[in-house]
Amino acid sequence: MRRFFRGVSLLAGAVAILAGASGSAHGEPLASWNDGTTKSAITEFVQRVTTEGTPDFVPPPARIAVFDNDGTLWAEQPAYFQLLFAIDRITDLAPQHPEWQTNPLFRAVLDGDMQTLAASGEKGLLELIMTTHAGMTRDGFANVVRQWITTARHPTTGRLYTEMVYQPMLELLDYLRVSGFKTYIVSGGGVEFMRVFAEEVYGIPPEQVLGSSIKTEFVMLDSGPVIKRLPEVDFINDKAGKPLNINRHLGRRPIAAFGNSDGDLQMLQWTAAGAGPRFCLFVRHTDGEREWAYDRESHIGQLDKGLDEARKQGWTVVDMQHDWSVVFPE
């Protein structure tokens, strides 16, 4: 009898090991997703493309999944986190720049005058970004971001920004990877900004992060070559720029795409238009209590045309409030 129980316990151990090998690093796959049509749409798609010997089977190298970042993997309110980084950075650098005190744009940043800041429009924001993102080497910039991301706090929740990622999306990334997918970030955010934390936070290595970029220059110093960041836009990785950049970097079409705004629409359309099974999903921000509620009318992360297209095409739309048992990691 004791022998029998030992046998059962050994068997249970083996099952646990096997489950660990093909399951999620967080235990049960998709643990923070409530049961329902959204969760089953995901698992049914993955089942479909990973079942060998069926017409829908997709070999692992073609299992490419692309994710937007702001509003899809982490929050984006009350402003894109990269803009909050730029604002923090200007505050830090202000003592070395007395001329900023008399410049209306920089004055607005230093005074926290968001109205003047918003009124400065795209031109103003671009100037802030260039001031804080260019004029240094790529290594120097990475160090500044690393310092900020490990210490700065979100203005309303007081959390580290890396704690404002969506727990269900972390589980989804894991679930796809253990199912043989290669996961990519394809974001309007700056590529060198995201690469600093993408590997640790999302498990996505730098070469699988695509983003907007500024121009760079190769400079040979006495101490050796450096890559210098120039105050000029190179590529805006948004809207139609997303499929173009995916094509440029990967040379193949994803089979699954995840976004949350109209800026992701073309990426989802490009993904959906390939032959064979495809999966497209929008995260809809419906939870004003645990996160923020916004969509068609929002200035940040507007989801309007995308929502119409999702309905027309039968894409999956996450209702945060109902589909997620947890929003942020505990």
Q: Enumerate binding residues for a copy of itself (CB under 8 A).
A: 61, 138, 191-192, 195, 205-207, 209, 213, 216-218, 220, 224-225, 227, 240, 243-244, 247-252, 266, 269-270, 273
Q: Judged by CB, which is closer to a copy of itself: 11, or 230?
A: 230
Q: Judged by CB, which is closer to a copy of itself: 250, or 300?
A: 250
Least distance from a copy of itself to the Cβ atom of residue 330, Å = 29
Contact 181, 26 (CB under 8 A): no
Q: Judged by CB, which is closer to a copy of itself: 92, or 234?
A: 234
Q: Judged by CB, which is closer to a copy of itself: 139, or 297?
A: 139
The Cα 300–Cα 41 span in angstroms is 27
Cβ partners under 8 Å of residue 235, min gap 6: 212, 213, 241, 245
Least distance from a copy of itself to the Cβ atom of residue 207, Å = 4
Q: Judged by CB, which is closer to a copy of itself: 33, or 315?
A: 315
Least distance from a copy of itself to the Cβ atom of residue 105, Å = 29
Q: Judged by CB, which is closer to a copy of itself: 139, or 330?
A: 139
Longest dimension (CA), the chain: 85
Least distance from a copy of itself to the Cβ atom of residue 243, Å = 5
Least distance from a copy of itself to the Cβ atom of residue 314, Å = 15
Least distance from a copy of itself to the Cβ atom of residue 67, Å = 16
